[in-house]
Amino acid sequence: MSRKWLAVYSRPRWEKKVNQLLTDKGLESYCPLNKVRRKWSDRVKLVEEPLFKSYVFVRVDDEDRAVVRMTPGVVNFVYWNGKPAVIREKEIQAIKRFLNEHENVEVEPISIEKYERVKITSGPLMDQEGEVVDVRHKTVKVAIDSLGYVLVAHIERSKLTSARPEINGKKKDRNP
């Protein structure tokens, strides 16, 4: 079976330790570290902090997943649509290249804004597109055109992705 990069959720502030423990077990793991300048009263120092809080990436096959789960500090795998989230090799390489070239990198979630076209990624309305009509703390109200009616669904942000091609890694189309 082929090995895949999976995301592991760790205890808070255990990312480096979990990465080391997985490496000690002979597993290929990666904890992206961001170089950040921190100022104390007497000095300024360049320190390495995990780029993704409470996340470590590990390359495993199905047999090694139990070994990962039993590692101290590992809470669980990160799941997407009921399965462990698989991270593509090219995404891991892109993170490595980006961190090698830049300091003080920040991670921001993709924002979902009112009137934006979105695609639903899971649930009974999966693959349907709609327009955001309201944004709340944890849910987004999406209008879905069908049969001449507007269906309004309150959907968790995690179950939406932008329908704009440039956000989803496709060629940007300026004339929708």
- Predicted confidence band of residue 168 (pLDDT cuts 50, 70, 90): very low
Q: How confident is the model over 39-55, as pLDDT tens digits? A: 989 999 989 999 999 99
Give the helix ranges, DSSP H, for the chain.
15-24, 65-69, 89-101
What does the domain layout of the chain look like in residue ranges?
4-101, 110-176
Domains 4-101 and 110-176 share a fold: no
By the 8 A CB rule, do 5 and 86 touch?
yes
Helix (H, G, I), strand (E, B) or coil at 126: coil
Question: 4-101 sits in which CATH class?
Answer: alpha beta
Q: How confident is the model over 79-122, as pLDDT tens digits? A: 877 889 899 999 999 999 988 888 778 887 667 778 788 877 76
Asked whether residue 156 carries a pLDDT value surpassing 60, the answer given is yes
pTM (two decimals): 0.66
Q: Which architecture does CATH list for 110-176?
A: Roll (2.30)
